[in-house]
Amino acid sequence: MQETGNTKIFNKLFCELEDCDEEEQKQKVKELHVIIDGMDRSEFLSILTEELFDKIHNMTDDKKLNFGNAIVLLKHIGYCNTLKRIFIQSFEKSSLNRRIEEIIINENKKKGGKDEKLLVDLCEGYLMLLIDDFPEELLSIGVPCLLKVALSKEESEETQKEVEKALLTLNSIRCDVKKELYLDAFKEIIQYHQKCGNLTHLAYQSAWQLLIERFYKEKSLGAVANELHFVREAIKELEWLIKNIDWKRKEERRGENEGKEEYILIEGLQCLEHFFLFCQPRTDESVEHVSSVTQIFRAATDNREDIGVKCLYLLIRSANNGALEVEDLLKGGAVDAVLEGLQRHTFKDKMTYKSLKAFLNVSNKLKEKGKDEVEEEKRKKIKMEMFEKMEEEGYEDCIESFHKKLYFLNSRFYFGISLNVSDYFANI
């Protein structure tokens, strides 16, 4: 891969570390952090090589790089790696990985004199760079250390950053954690933030994700999530994200400085999907929830198709399992938003496919007979409202204009949408 401006500066600064004393190295590591933060995803990937990690190991062994400075650099690389959602095995294959494992185990064995700050720093850099090889012994050391940091209730900016990194690291561990050890801790973290506001947005999202995605198999999770007002809090966070993401950034610049807000949004939508899929709630806030997701969908349509598709997918699955009703989709503006995009023919293939599938699902839902007279009357009323909206907006003509394209969309996205145009109508 050809070097870019950022990668050239990174490689130059990294090579200069060998010729510096400890304080000069500390300053250059800070400069490396700034360069890393400015890298797009492809640039960052280009430096995450086994060679880089082996060199860090060799430089620390040869006393050419202060070990503390090396760990600070490794932590930042791991932090950015998690935010950019990069999954590569270069660190796992490196000699640095094996060396850090040894240091963590040996440090933990010290009786009375182990350095807990060093253990936390090592575990954060180590765990955020692993993909799927999480040794049980290392987890048994790292998770309690990180959880202790995450439970800190100090509200200084420095502590907030450390809590954020600890929660993000815990969230990056892709294996099960034991319910009896950690469920109450995550609940405590969320409750304290709701009372005192001590977490950053990224830390708060990570805490929710730890609770929802790690314990979705627990029957009690729905009650716990409702007790903690998950839907209300999710709506609040989505509204903050709508205001703080640069929605006008063009797709070709997507990776450039993409940071916490994008990560929070994408992971947050995934968390919401798990919640509605496994907990199957339907609350008084459902319409507000649909409205917030719809606003994200509208904002993402032009330049962030990946986010728009996630919004659609979330609404489709939530409606399919009964967590949302067609009425919620109507009142929350989801139907209007998708109709507008289809009529403008501005959606790309994947968005068009998902939009058509969404309407197909809605149509199917409206064909299901109610369980009793009250439900049946309600279904007929909603069906009439949907039909009138489709008729007013020229939905039938819109769908027919896609008819020739349906074959192509099915061949590209592995089927799933009907080739029969009439199936997309909520006919009376």
Q: Using a pLDDT cut of 90, give the percent of the chain over it.
A: 43
| pLDDT at 121 > cutoff 80 | yes
253 falls in which pLDDT band (50, 70, 90)? very low
Residue 359 is predicted with a pLDDT of: 80
Q: Which whole number is the average pLDDT over 364-387? A: 85
The answer to whether residues 316 and 361 touch, using CB atoms and an 8 Å cutoff, is yes
CA contacts within 13 A on the Cβ side of 202: 22
Residue 85 is predicted with a pLDDT of: 87
48-57, 86-95, 134-143, range with greatest mean pLDDT = 48-57
pTM, to two decimals: 0.87
Q: Which whole number is the average pLDDT over 95-122? A: 91
Q: What are phi and psi of 63, to 5 degrees?
A: 60, 25
The answer to whether residues 394 and 355 touch, using CB atoms and an 8 Å cutoff, is no
The answer to whether residues 80 and 44 touch, using CB atoms and an 8 Å cutoff, is yes
pLDDT digits (tens, 9 = 90+) for 291-337: 999 999 988 887 788 898 889 888 888 887 778 888 888 889 988 88
The answer to whether residues 84 and 36 touch, using CB atoms and an 8 Å cutoff, is no
6: helix, strand or coil: helix
12-16, 107-111, 270-274, range with greatest mean pLDDT = 12-16
| pLDDT at 354 > cutoff 90 | no
Q: Which of 58-62, 160-164, 183-187, 409-413 has the lowest mean pLDDT?
A: 409-413
Residue 224 is predicted with a pLDDT of: 87
| Alpha-carbon span 150 to 170, nearest angstrom | 9
| Alpha-carbon span 295 to 239, nearest angstrom | 9
> How many other C-beta atoms lie within 10 A of the C-beta of residue 240?
14
Residue 180 is predicted with a pLDDT of: 63
The answer to whether residues 18 and 64 touch, using CB atoms and an 8 Å cutoff, is yes
The answer to whether residues 311 and 294 touch, using CB atoms and an 8 Å cutoff, is yes
Residue 257 is predicted with a pLDDT of: 45
Residue 146 is predicted with a pLDDT of: 94
| pLDDT at 70 > cutoff 90 | yes
Residue 252 is predicted with a pLDDT of: 45
> How many other C-beta atoms lie within 10 A of the C-beta of residue 91?
24
Q: Which whole number is the average pLDDT over 228-246? A: 91
Average pLDDT over the chain, rounded to an integer: 86
| Alpha-carbon span 266 to 347, nearest angstrom | 20
| Alpha-carbon span 225 to 223, nearest angstrom | 5
25 falls in which pLDDT band (50, 70, 90)? very high
110 falls in which pLDDT band (50, 70, 90)? confident
Q: Look at residues 339, 349, 342, 353 and name the one whose alpha carbon lies nearest to residue 389.
A: 339
- Lookup: tokens for 233: 């809090």
Q: Which whole number is the average pLDDT over 258-274? A: 87
Residue 427 is predicted with a pLDDT of: 63
Residue-wise DSSP of 57-83 = HHHHHTTSS-HHHHHHHHHHHHHHHHH
Q: Look at residues 47, 32, 138, 146 and name the one whose alpha carbon lies nearest to residue 88.
A: 47
CA contacts within 13 A on the Cβ side of 154: 12
256 falls in which pLDDT band (50, 70, 90)? very low
